[in-house]
Amino acid sequence: MYRLFFQLVLRRIPAELAHTLGFWLIRVVIGSPVLGPWMATRLGPQDRVLHIQAFGVAFPSPLGLAAGFDKDTKGVLALGRLGFGHVEVGTVTNLPQPGNPKPRLFRLPADRALLNRMGFNNAGARHIAARLRALPRHRPVIGVNIGKSKLVPTDDAARDYRATAALIGPYADYVVVNVSSPNTPGLRELQQVTQLEPILTAVRVELDTVVPTRRVPLLVKITSDLAAEDVDAVADLVARLGLDGVIATNTTTAREDLVTPPEVLDRIGEGGISGHPLNRPGLDIVRRLRARLGPKHIIVAVGGIANGEDAYRRIRAGATLVQGYTGFVYGGLTWPNRINRELARLLRRDGFSSLAAAVGTDAAEL
């Protein structure tokens, strides 16, 4: 039914408007105190084989919603009821900002992909921290993805990230430093280790300062557009600084091997592509990271995960957690539930009594 609704209705209206309307419907219906809990009992992860511990946090399922869907922490309770084991909000910047001019979100249906140049549109760290603080105690696991404010010079990036961490750190189950979006000028330059190290060090110090009673896990998000040696350098930095892990991968600016005609892409213009085109490169980066990092650090796989088999391959390659966004857009409200059921079936088919036992089982074949 959703696919028919998508074909007949959603794809005929601008992508960002469709997202706004769809997310509003999720918050109203699934977020309601009457229907929401009933839906959660039917759509939430039911199989204990999916339970996993990562950086000291218990997840009911490895499947999370990637950053970018709920930028301002408006619907985490409703999204958790759909079956996501965690919700990553943001990207959050210290300063509120409107993002890039519209239109800035586009569908590439032939590639089961999205192209966006949103530009970190969000209400700002102070506003989002207030929303996080107001959430009830019983809520989904929440990660907060933080980025550089557009108006802040690159040379002042560490201070800007640190200011955001100070505001949201007390309310986050984990924090992600995002230096890999292609839609903020100069941001991807921060993936170079010489620029990345002071940012990660500053955020780690700030989190330990504002949350002295517990260690807030800290991860960094990278893109598949990095050269192999740069992926290795980031992995080495993560290990050296004692970070908790890596999220791989963000959107790509590559345009090769797409079904969408080049003239259509030229008409749309710049932006990062998510969805199916990231499936193969995303898997390759997870494998490379696991080989470089060993079993100690957490890898969160995102990009091109459309079904349970995709998620299972990332887990066996070394990912402890997986995330989706574009797959959810194309798959509809029951997509998280389907992924969870498929993943549980695959784990039990192969004789695993827990998801943790499957993590990295293909690493020896690399």
Contact 320, 300 (CB under 8 A): yes
CA–CA distance, 34 with 48 (Å, rounded to integer): 26
Measured between alpha carbons, how far is 91 from 324 in angstroms, rounded to an integer? 15
Residue 9: predicted pLDDT: 67
The question of whether 181 is a catalytic residue gets the answer: yes
3-state secondary structure the chain: CHHHHHHHCHHHCCHHHHHHHHHHHHHHHCCCCCHHHHHHHHHCCCCHHHCEEECCEEECCCEEECCCCCCCCCCHHHHHHCCCCEEEEEEECCCCECCCCCCCEEEEHHHCEEEECCCCCECCHHHHHHHHHHCCCCCCEEEEEECCCCCCCHHHHHHHHHHHHHHHHHHCCEEEEECCCCCCCCHHHHHCHHHHHHHHHHHHHHHHHHCCCCCCCEEEEEECCCCHHHHHHHHHHHHHHCCCEEEEEECECCCCCCCCCHHHHHHHCCCEEEEHHHHHHHHHHHHHHHHHHCCCCEEEEECCCCCHHHHHHHHHHCCCEEEECHHHHHHCCCHHHHHHHHHHHHHHHCCCCCCHHHCCCCHHHC
Q: Would you give per-residue pLDDT tens digits along the chain (366 residues)?
A: 445 565 566 667 899 998 998 899 899 989 888 888 888 888 888 899 999 999 999 999 999 999 999 999 999 999 999 999 999 998 999 999 999 999 999 999 999 999 999 999 999 999 999 999 999 988 999 999 999 999 999 899 999 999 999 999 999 999 999 987 776 766 667 767 788 999 999 999 999 999 999 999 999 999 988 889 989 999 999 999 999 999 999 989 999 889 999 999 999 999 999 999 999 999 999 999 999 999 889 999 999 999 999 999 999 999 999 999 999 999 999 999 999 999 999 999 999 999 999 999 997 544
Q: Among residues 181, 274, 353, 354, which one is catalytic?
A: 181
For residue 188, the model assigns a pLDDT of 67
Output the pTM of the full model. 0.94
All domains in the chain, ordered by first residue:
2-365 (3.20.20.70)
- Give Cα separations from 64 to 61, 81, 97, 303, 328 (angstroms): 8, 12, 26, 12, 11
DSSP bridge partners of 90: 145
- CA angle in degrees (0–180, nearest 5) for 238-242-246: 40
Residue whose C-alpha is closest to residue 242's, from 189, 298, 285: 298
